[in-house]
Amino acid sequence: MLPDDDVLLLTPGPTPIHPRAQAALGWPMRGHMDPEVFAYNDRIVADLRRLYGTGEGSFTSLLSGTGSLGMEAGLANLLEPGERVLVLSNGAFGERMVEMAARLGCDVHALRFEAGAPVDVDAAARAARSLRPALLAVVHGETSTGVLNPVPELGAVAREAGALFSVDAVTTVGMMPFAMDAWGIDYAYTGSQKCLSAPPGVAPVAFSARAMERVAQRRLPVATWYADALGMRRYWQPDEGGRQYHHTVPVQLHWALGEALAAALEEGLEARAERARRVGSAALAALQDLGFRAYVPAPHRLPTVLAVVPPSGLDEAAVRRSLRSEHGVTVAGGLGPTAGKVWRLGLMGENAREVHYRRFLDALGRVLGEAGLRERFDEVLEPALA
């Protein structure tokens, strides 16, 4: 049974697959130790350095798994059982970190902030100073609420406390400039299906030189063999022993991710950020006319996930079901602290396109019996284009 080929994903991940990535899924099969695969992987390593803003000495690669494996791999590599981690949490993905670190047997401290509000830098600095964690961890763009956290300032907090700094860049890297080295980040990760618009299944990750030294000095081996950075590095970076087999990498997903990544760098990260901002503000204006309001105040609003509160009296779940069944448009409801309270619209990679938002607004207008939404969208878009 073939799925309907005209369904629009406006969800905050997965996003519609980039045409170059879609084409690459049909490229021929190669073995994971094939020279063509190694050459292709080398280009991915170099492109990921540009994407993350990190230089020589860092280790960039793909994990075979989704963004959550990226999250788990960072905690598992950079912490040993009993070691202290301070998680700055303001949503469902911050809580996922807390749970993962606890399962790894770490000494977990969570500093929590109100849903919809950003992490407070001064409170984080006070906690880091008194707790002296081995690792400070935060989500850059909290997908569950649509909040952008102040990562550059938190990098300074980590340095001052002598902690390694881990950043969940799942909804940010690839859709805005990212400066891992300049911001003092030791580990960052994303998932292929978010800002890069590749199929899900690989997690692009970046370890700083300092992070790799830390992994090399561990007393105990990394609890997860599969995502051990030293094992991974023996496959991705040849040493005296050449390239070593670690696990059978999903070659088709490497092709697809590599093409989506090249397309993102060709477009430029500034240009992509501007595209998300422009489409997002026009969509918000059109929705505001219908009585929706932004969940997060402007300065802390994540450009890649627009969380909007539906007007009271609207059966938001029923409207989303109609959008999907009658118009083939998928939008996400809330998650964690926002469950049942908001809609979350993706503005990552291929979903930050005017054509998609026009289709969504037309469909929503039909479901609600309201005209003029798309016109309002275009009206706000036009001056931005001029």
Contacts of residue 340, defined as CB under 8 A and 6 or more positions apart, other chains included, come to 316, 317, 333, 334
State the minimum distance, in angstroms, from the CB of residue 152 to ligand PLP: 18
Asked if 93 is part of the footprint of ligand PLP (rule: CB under 6 A), the reply reads yes
CB of 311 to ligand PLP, least distance (A): 26
Q: Which is nearer to ligand PLP, 93 or 357 (CB)?
A: 93
CB of 300 to ligand PLP, least distance (A): 15
The number of CA neighbours under 13 Å toward the Cβ of 59 is 24
**Amino acid (1-letter code) at residue 131:** L
CB-based closest residue to ligand PLP: 67
Choose the stretch contacting ligand PLP; rule: CB under 6 A; options: 167-175, 232-240, 315-323, 351-359. Answer: 167-175
Least separation, in Å, of the C-beta of 143 and ligand PLP?
3
> Is residue 304 close enough to count as binding ligand PLP by CB under 6 A?
no
3-state secondary structure of 252: helix
**Cis peptide leading into 81, omega within 30 of 0?**
no
Residues 74, 155, 191, 199: which binds ligand PLP (CB under 6 A)?
Answer: 191
Residue selected from 86, 139, 308, 381 as contacting ligand PLP according to rule CB under 6 A: 139
Each as own residue / partner, the long-range contacts of residues 363-371 (CB below 8 Å, 24 or more positions apart, any chain) are: 363/323, 363/326, 363/327, 363/329, 364/290, 364/319, 364/323, 364/329, 366/326, 366/327, 367/319, 367/322, 367/323, 367/326, 367/327, 368/290, 368/319, 370/290
Kindly indicate which of the ranges 41-49, 54-62, 164-172, 248-256 contains the residues binding ligand PLP, using the contact rule CB under 6 A: 164-172
Quick check: 329 and 363 in contact, CB under 8 A?
Answer: yes
Which residues face 8 on adjacent strands?
A: 329
Out of 13, 174, 199, 310, name the contact with ligand PLP by CB under 6 A: 13
Q: What secondary structure does DSSP assign to 18-41, as a single string?
A: PHHHHHHTTSPP--TT-HHHHHHH
> Closest CB to ligand PLP among 10 and 364?
10
Q: How far is the CB of 231 from ligand PLP (least distance, A)?
A: 21
Q: Which is nearer to ligand PLP, 34 or 99 (CB)?
A: 99
Q: Does 338 bind ligand PLP (CB under 6 A)?
A: no
State both tokens at 348.
């990552």
Work out how close the CB of 68 gets to ligand PLP at its nearest, in angstroms, rounded to a whole number. 3
Q: Classify the phi-psi angles of 116: left when phi > 0, otherwise alpha if psi is within -120 to 50, otherwise beta.
A: left
Min dist. Cβ of residue 148 to ligand PLP (A): 11
Query: Which residues, numbered 52-71, are part of the site for ligand PLP (CB under 6 A)?
Result: 66-68, 71
In terms of DSSP bridges, do strands 135-139 and 107-112 run parallel, antiparallel, or are they unpaired?
Answer: unpaired
Residue ranges in contact with ligand PLP by CB under 6 A: 13, 66-68, 71, 93, 139, 143, 168, 170-171, 191, 200
